[in-house]
Amino acid sequence: MVVVHVYDQEPARTRVHVVVRSASTPRQVVRQIVSLLRNFGWKEIEPSMVTVVQIQESEGEGAGHYRLRIIGYSLVRSALGLEGVCRLGWGGLQCEGKVQGSAPLAVMAEATVAAVNQAVGSAWVVVLDAKLVEQGGRSVALIMVRYGDEEVLTGSAVMHGVLEETVVRATLDAVNRRLVLYSGARPT
């Protein structure tokens, strides 16, 4: 389903608003719309003039189906300090990351990344930083990871429950932006 609404015909004020239900990413939809309009004579159309709203597919469809989900986590004291465990799932696949250290945020972020790297079969993701900040009277976990050799991604999660879950959700917020590439789904 595609609904397109075009405002104003003057090139300086032209805006195209699109509502789609699509397996393609919004970025791909913008490219397709721009290409289509240019083929119909709208030579002045630019990607910045296009706004896309993508309707969520039902569970089991779309890109969300290909993302890792939290199965379980724990943070316990051991003889060597803290031991963080994160279990993630995707379809029938289950992955577990275990890390030992002294800082709870870093341990849980590293355990989450270890589970992600196990899922993809390679050490593609590395934790760069993990912080807990106060914003608007709420605690927020901020996680920065490096994907591959250069790309830096960030994720955040507001603490609603326990610290461990918040850190896992923040780490997945950063990592799941690229997870479709890992899972075998169509690349973005």
**11 DSSP 8-state letter:** T
pLDDT digits over 44-54, tens only?
A: 888 888 877 76
Percentage of the chain exceeding pLDDT 70:
78
Q: How far is CA 140 from CA 98, 130, 137, 143, 159, in A?
A: 23, 11, 10, 10, 6
Average pLDDT, the chain: 79
Prediction pTM value: 0.63
Q: DSSP labels for 87-148? A: EEEETTEEEEEEEEES-HHHHHHHHHHHHHHHHHTS--EEEEEEEEEEETTEEEEEEEEEET
What's the token pair of residue 97?
């990351």
Sketch out the chain's domains with CATH numbers. 2-54 (no CATH), 66-183 (3.30.160.270)
Q: pLDDT (tens digit, 9 = 90+) per residue, 58-100?
A: 444 444 555 788 999 999 998 879 999 999 987 778 899 999 9
Q: Count other C-beta atoms under 10 Å from residue 94's C-beta.
A: 15
Look at residue 7 in the predicted model and tell me its pLDDT.
55
pLDDT in tens, 144-183: 999 877 788 899 999 988 999 999 999 999 887 665 433 3
Give me the pLDDT at residue 109, please.
Answer: 95
Q: Are 116 and 97 in contact (CB under 8 A)?
A: yes
- What average pLDDT does range 92-113 have in this prediction? 92
Q: Cα separation of 80 and 174, whole Å?
A: 28
Mean pLDDT computed over 22-30:
75
